[in-house]
Structure 1
Amino acid sequence: MAEPINNGSPTDSEPVKVTASARLDRIRKIIQAAAVQTIVEFKAGSEDFRTIAVETLRQPYQALRQRLQSLNLWYDNLAAQAQSQEVTHLEQKQAELESKVGDVGAAVAQQEQRIRQRVKQFLQVVAARL
């Protein structure tokens, strides 16, 4: 079996301990810096991911919102057009009715004239016989 080599004094190992301790400190600092950088990158990546996710979700929402707005506009235009046509149709029917009433009024006036004429003639015949 091999025996440990201890050919130096305990004070000879002191520089090795100091060097090893310094190296461990540097390694510890490197690991801490790497951990901090990893956390920073993770947070930045999370922010990027959140931004991408929000944009990805916002686009269909905005498209849907625009579609709803265009449908509302279409409906409003259609309702206004229907109301306009209804008013136009109503006005047309009213004009037709007024025309028919006017025609009936004219026919009644002509009939009234004929009746007056007959009554006048009848009265003249009766007066002539008296």
Structure 2
Amino acid sequence: MEQLIDRVVRARESLYSGAIDSEDFVAIKDNCEKRINTLGIQLQQLITLKLTKTDHLRKLSKNIYEMACLYDKTDLISKRQIVVLMFSHSTIYKEQIKLMFDPALKILFNIDSCIHSEMTITDETFVFDDE
């Protein structure tokens, strides 16, 4: 935008010095004004998009935080249900098990003994399929 404004200023100076005639100046000015207006509209759209995405990320972060608070405040059975809801119908491979569960959960769900298996989480419980 600054370059376009500078171009209009230089064109005006050229008009005053007689290097270009008024028709050329008007053509340059109109062209620059159209481009500035287009860039202004695009800039406004980008700002709006950024604000929308920022607001959306803020809401997602709040939802994740609330889910963590809910998980912390519930009993063991409810925690198991939350885990099942979060990972329903997905397959977790043995490389991911070590990263996803802390030692207490591994003991609780007997994951260490099944580390060589593929684990599928269903609505009911954890099901281990031997490889």
If the TM-score is normalised by the length of the shorter chain, which range does it land in? Answer: 0.3 to 0.5
Instruction: Give me the TM-score of the superposition, normalised by structure 1.
Output: 0.42
Instruction: Give me the TM-score of the superposition, normalised by structure 2.
Output: 0.41
Higher strand share: 2
Q: Which has the higher contact order (CA 8 A, sep 6+)?
A: 2
Higher helix share: 1
